Amino acid sequence: MRAFRTALVAVWCLMPAVVSAQGTRTVAVTGTVRDSATGAPLPGAVVRLVELHREGRAREDGAFLIGAVPSGRYRLVVQRIGYRAADLPIVVANQAVALTVALREQPMQVAATVITGQISERGSSDAITATSVLSEARLDRRLDGTLGSTIVGTPGVAMAQMGPATGRPVIRGMGGDRVVILEDGQRPGDLSSTSMDHAVAIDPLTAQRIEVVRGPMSLLYGSSALGGVVNLIRHEVPTTATEHAHGTLSVQGSSANGGTTLGGWAEAPLAGLTVRGEGSFRNTGDLRTPVGVLGNTQSMLASGTVGASVVRDWGYAGVAYRFLGNEYGVPGGFVGAHEGGVDIAMRRHSVRAEADWHPADIRFESVRATVTFTDYLHDEIEEDGEVATRFQQRMTVGEVVARHRPIGVMSSGALGVRAQYRDFSTAGALRTPSTADWSLALFAIEEWGTGPLRVQAGARFDHARFTPLERSSISASGVNVPTIARDFGALSASLGAIYLFANGVRLGTSISRAYRTPDFNELYSDGPHLAAYSYDVGNPRLRQETGIGAELFARVERDRLRAEAAVYVNRMAGYIFPRNLGELGRQGERWKFQFVNEDARLAGAEGEFEWTLREHVVLEGTLSYVRGTITGNRDTIPGLNGEPDRLASGDLPLIPPLNGRIGLRHETARWSAGGGLRAAARQDRLGDFETPTAGYTTVDLFVGRRFLVGGRLHGVTLRVDNLLDAEIRDHLSRTKLIIPDAGRNVLLLYRVQF
- What 3-state DSSP class applies to 196? coil
Position 336 scores a pLDDT of 58
Strand partners, 600: 572, 630
Whether 129 and 99 map to the same domain: the answer is no
- Count of H helices and E strands in the chain? 4, 42
What angle is formed at CA 526 by the lines to CA 524 and CA 532, rounded to 5 degrees? 110
Residue 161 located in a structural domain: yes
Confidence of residue 388 (pLDDT cuts 50, 70, 90): confident
The pLDDT of residue 646 is above 50: no
- Interval 289-331: pLDDT, tens: 999 999 999 999 999 999 999 998 889 999 999 999 999 999 9
Which of 39, 68, 103 is at the close of a domain? 103
HSE (side-chain half, CA atoms, 13 Å) at 315: 22
Residue 703 located in a structural domain: yes
- Interval 208-227: pLDDT, tens: 999 999 876 667 887 778 88
Confidence of residue 476 (pLDDT cuts 50, 70, 90): low
Enter the DSSP assignment of 114: B
Confidence of residue 67 (pLDDT cuts 50, 70, 90): confident
Residue 116 located in a structural domain: no
The pLDDT of residue 503 is above 50: yes
**CATH number, domain with residue 555:** 2.40.170.20
Residue 118 located in a structural domain: no
Residue type, 4: F
Percent over 70 (pLDDT), the chain: 92
Position 664 scores a pLDDT of 97
Whether 242 and 363 map to the same domain: the answer is yes
Cα distance between residue 457 and residue 494, in whole Å: 6
User: Which among 360, 355, 415, 274 is positioned nearest to 16, based on CA atoms?
Assistant: 355
Q: What is the mean pLDDT of the chain?
A: 88
**Is residue 631 classed exposed, middle or buried when 0-12, 13-18 and 19+ CB atoms within 10 A define those classes?**
middle
Confidence of residue 431 (pLDDT cuts 50, 70, 90): confident
Residue 115 located in a structural domain: no
Enter the DSSP assignment of 590: S
Handedness of CA 637, 642, 647, 651 (dihedral sign): negative
Position 222 scores a pLDDT of 79
Position 13 scores a pLDDT of 44
Q: What is the DSSP string of 413-480?
A: EEEEEEEEEEEEEEEES--PPPEEEEEEEEEEEEEE-SSSEEEEEEEEEEEEEEEESS--EEEETTEE
Cα distance between residue 59 and residue 515, in whole Å: 50
Position 6 scores a pLDDT of 45
- Interval 89-111: pLDDT, tens: 999 988 888 999 999 988 877 66
Position 649 scores a pLDDT of 53
Whether 163 and 77 map to the same domain: the answer is no
Whether 57 and 132 map to the same domain: the answer is no
Percent over 90 (pLDDT), the chain: 62
Pairing of strands 228-233, 179-183: parallel
Three-class HEC string of 716-739: EEEEEECCCCCCCCCCCECCCCCC
Position 243 scores a pLDDT of 82
Whether 562 and 655 map to the same domain: the answer is yes
Give the range of the structural domain holding residue 95, as residue numbers without chain letter.
2-103
Greatest Cα-to-Cα distance within the chain, rounded to the nearest angstrom: 82
Specify whether the backbone of 651 is left (phi greater than 0), alpha (psi in -120 to 50) or beta: beta
Provide φ and ψ at 262, rounded to 5°: -135, 135
**CATH number, domain with residue 89:** 2.60.40.10
CB 291 within 8 A of CB 328: no
Average of per-residue pLDDT across 434-450: 93
Whether 85 and 176 map to the same domain: the answer is no
Position 116 scores a pLDDT of 84
Residue 390 located in a structural domain: yes
Q: How many domains does the chain have?
A: 2
Cα distance between residue 100 and residue 657, in whole Å: 50
Beta strands in 271-386 (DSSP E): 273-284, 287-289, 292-294, 299-312, 315-330, 342-357, 364-381
Cα distance between residue 37 and residue 464, in whole Å: 58
Whether 178 and 46 map to the same domain: the answer is no
Residue type, 67: G
Residue 110 located in a structural domain: no
Cα distance between residue 106 and residue 95, in whole Å: 34
The pLDDT of residue 1 is above 90: no
Cα distance between residue 274 and residue 153, in whole Å: 36
Which of 71, 103, 135 is at the close of a domain? 103
CA 53 to chain centre: 23
Position 471 scores a pLDDT of 81
CB 140 within 8 A of CB 251: no
Whether 629 and 552 map to the same domain: the answer is yes
Position 647 scores a pLDDT of 46
Whether 630 and 726 map to the same domain: the answer is yes
Whether 289 and 343 map to the same domain: the answer is yes
Q: What's this model's pTM, rounded to 2 decimal places?
A: 0.90
Which of 44, 71, 103 is at the close of a domain? 103
CB 631 within 8 A of CB 571: yes
Whether 445 and 521 map to the same domain: the answer is yes
Residue 108 located in a structural domain: no
Whether 169 and 207 map to the same domain: the answer is yes
- Interval 608-636: pLDDT, tens: 999 999 989 999 999 999 999 998 754 33
What angle is formed at CA 490 by the lines to CA 484 and CA 491, rounded to 5 degrees? 170
